[in-house]
Amino acid sequence: MTVQETADRVMLRAFLETDRLYSAYALCDLDDREFLRTRWGAALVDAKPIAVVLQYAGYSPQPVFVMGENAGIEAILAEVIKPRTAYVAARSEYLTAIGASYRVESGPAMLRMWVDAAHFRPFPADVQRLLPVEIGELNRLYQLGFASWLPATAISDGLYYGTRVGGRLVSAAGTHVISPAAKLAVVGNVMTHTDFRGRGYATAVTSAVTADLLKFCDQVVLNVRADNPPALAAYRRLGYQVHLTFEERLIHRSELPWNGWTGALRRMLARKES
Cβ atoms of 179 and 172 within 8 Å: the answer is: no
Q: What is d(CA 235, CA 173) in angstroms, rounded to the nearest whole number? A: 12
For 66-114, how does the pLDDT look when each residue is reduced to its tens digit (9 = 90+)? 999 999 999 999 999 999 999 999 999 999 999 999 999 998 899 999 9
Nearest of 107, 165, 160, 159 to residue 138 by alpha carbon: 160
Q: What is d(CA 97, CA 200) in angstroms, rounded to the nearest whole number? A: 41
Superfamily per CATH, domain 120-239: Gcn5-related N-acetyltransferase (GNAT) (3.40.630.30)
Tell me the domain boundaries of the chain: 2-108+249-258, 120-239
Cβ atoms of 170 and 158 within 8 Å: the answer is: no
Cβ atoms of 35 and 13 within 8 Å: the answer is: no
Is pLDDT at 137 greater than 70 in this prediction? yes
Banded model confidence at residue 145, pLDDT cuts 50, 70, 90: low
124-160 burial code (b ≥16 CB/10 A, e <16): ebebeebeeebbebbbebbeeeeeeebeeebbeebbb
Q: Where are the alpha helices (DSSP H) in 122-178?
A: 135-142, 153-157
Is pLDDT at 231 greater than 70 in this prediction? yes
Q: What is the mean pLDDT of residues 31-42?
A: 95
Banded model confidence at residue 261, pLDDT cuts 50, 70, 90: very low
Nearest of 139, 110, 111, 117 to residue 210 by alpha carbon: 117
Q: What is d(CA 15, CA 66) in angstroms, rounded to the nearest whole number? A: 12
Banded model confidence at residue 267, pLDDT cuts 50, 70, 90: very low
Instruction: Report the length, in residues, of the chain.
Output: 274
Secondary structure letter of residue 222 according to DSSP? E
What's the confidence (pLDDT) of residue 149? 79
Say which CATH topology domain 2-108+249-258 has: Aminopeptidase (3.40.630)
What's the confidence (pLDDT) of residue 269? 47
Q: What is d(CA 68, CA 248) in angstroms, rounded to the nearest whole number? A: 17
Same fold yes or no, 2-108+249-258 and 120-239: yes
3-state secondary structure of 169: strand
Q: What is d(CA 193, CA 129) in angstroms, rounded to the nearest whole number? A: 18
Q: What are phi and psi of 234, to 5 degrees?
A: -65, -45
What's the confidence (pLDDT) of residue 54? 98
